Chains A and B, each alone.
Chain A
Amino acid sequence: MKLSYILHLADDALVLGHRMSEWCGHGPVLEQDIAMTNTALDLLGRARTLYQYAADLYNQMPVEQRAKMFSSVSLQKLDAAGEKAEEDTMPYLRDSWDFKNVLIAEQPNGDWAQSVARSLFVDCFYYYYFDQLQHCTDATIAAVAEKSLKEVTYHLKWSSEWVIRLGDGTDESHEKMQTAINELWSYTGEMFEEADYETSLRDELKLPELAAIKAKWQKHIEEVLEDATMKLPTATWMQKGGKNGMHSEHLGYVLAELQFMQRVYPSMQW
């Protein structure tokens, strides 16, 4: 259960980080290209620590239990060869249904407005989430949360500013920003729905109460949208599934690119 939870945190960071890294060389201006890639780097750094931790937990797990948890043939081959999992194992050798990131993280970049809207929603969630998670009883998770909180504070400042700048900008930028917020809205609900692995660990690890996070999140989003002269979407139907491995088709494309080298040249390093 703990492994699933660690993978959920790591996958969120990896998949969103990968999406943001796709802006590298394509940003509207150099400074914002750099902003995207800097943030991507923070996210990948967070993912690396968590994947190392996940590999340690995986190595401690009995082999039969591993096979029950993951269907990936590559992982089974690793076990059969008696090799240990390492930092790269979980990101490179799992199939998409074993990924536990929220669906919003894998949504395509779209235009600039869609990318900053996605960042605003996720940054805001993790800002309040890590603020609580740094008191987690698991020392490694608490350390990652404490470190990441500093970084996400800065990310949130950046994404909030962009939503306000575009929302309160020209007619065209306002419309694009509002469209992006509306389109991504149905992907925000999943962040506040506890997966089974979270429920079972909540008391033991002192995990954040998602309902309390949601109230704070909602308040910040409302404030930003008000400053941006925009409307909070009213739709209540929400997408879900990513935290339990049910993904949109987009994740497959992300993994096809991300995992290509390791799939074609297993265990290669550079």
Chain B
Amino acid sequence: MYSAEQLKVYSLLADVKDPEVPVLSILDLGIVRNVEISDQGGKQNVHVYITPTYSGCPAMDAIAIGIRMALTGRGFGSIQVTHQLQPAWTTDWMTEEGKRKLKEYGIAPPQRKSTEKLALFEEENIACPRCESTDTQLVSRYGPTSCKSLYKCNSCLEPFEHFKCH
């Protein structure tokens, strides 16, 4: 399905981290939509398509630079990174591996499918990433980054972040 060159690019991209959640690679996050390779006089030009998690995500520029850094000096020709909006990124594209890493890091991963819409005032039942208790409460819809909200665990009393289903 993938060519050898594409696989090489993907293996290098596995080392590019989300600067705001540094345990996750951009592949774990599911923001790499496509890798195109074109041959130009024996040099392999690389074109990586990434999709922002949120419209104004300030990490996108850092991620684009990270991709260039990871691919530079690896024998490729030109390296191009394009931001692609459609289809819109969803937490459904986050890998199971990514969700596991998030939880280990202390962030409760998204748990529903993004297509299951909640009613206006309905809340999700989020399990504490530390003690697994579901006796938790939403402290704030918005956290330090657009993709997270703030919770508190009523069992172990620890505050934690939740990666919002989106």
Residues of A within 8 A of B (CB): 31-32, 34-35, 38-46, 48-49, 139-140, 142-144, 146-148, 150-151, 153-154, 156-158, 160-161
Contact = CB atoms under 8 A, between A and B. Distances in A.
Interface string B139-153: 111111110001000
B64 to A, nearest CB: 14
Interface string B42-60: 0000000000101111100
B85 A151 contact: no
Contacts of A153: 117
Contact of B55 (A147, A160, A161): A147
Contacts of A39: 142
B141 A142 contact: no
B145 to A, nearest CB: 8
B7 interface: no
Contacts of A43: 55-56
Given A44-B56, A142-B86, A31 B120 contact: no
Contacts of B85: 49, 140, 143-144, 146-147
Contacts of B86: 139, 142-143, 146-147
24 contacts: A31-B150, A34-B142, A38-B142, A38-B145, A39-B142, A41-B57, A43-B56, A44-B55, A45-B55, A140-B85, A142-B86, A146-B86, A146-B87, A147-B88, A147-B89, A148-B55, A151-B54, A151-B55, A156-B120, A157-B121, A157-B141, A158-B141, A160-B120, A160-B121
A263 to B, nearest CB: 24
Please classify how large the interface on chain B is, using the bins under 10, 10 to 19, 20 to 34, 35 or more. Answer: 20 to 34
Contacts of B112: none
Given A143-B86, A146-B86, A38 B55 contact: no
Majority-rule SS of A interface residues: helix
Nearest to B55: A45
Contacts of B141: 35, 154, 157-158
Given A147-B55, A150-B88, A38 B140 contact: no
B130 interface: no
B166 interface: yes
Nearest to A44: B56
A42 B54 contact: yes
Given A31-B139, A35-B140, A38-B142, A45 B88 contact: no
A134 B40 CA distance: 37
Contact of B58 (A41, A151, A161): A41
Contacts of B150: 31
A153 to B, nearest CB: 8
A43 B121 CA distance: 23
Contacts of A154: 141, 164, 166
Contact of B54 (A34, A41, A48, A156): A41
A53 to B, nearest CB: 11
A118 B87 CA distance: 30
Contacts of A158: 141-142
Contact of A42 (B56, B117, B121, B140): B56
B142 A45 contact: no
Nearest to A164: B121
A116 to B, nearest CB: 13
Nearest to A49: B85
Contacts of B56: 40-46, 48
Nearest to B52: A45
B93 to A, nearest CB: 13
Contacts of B52: 45, 147
Given A38-B145, A38-B146, A45-B56, 20 more contacts: A31-B139, A32-B140, A34-B144, A40-B56, A41-B56, A41-B58, A42-B56, A48-B56, A49-B55, A49-B85, A139-B86, A143-B88, A144-B85, A146-B85, A146-B86, A148-B55, A150-B114, A157-B120, A157-B121, A158-B141
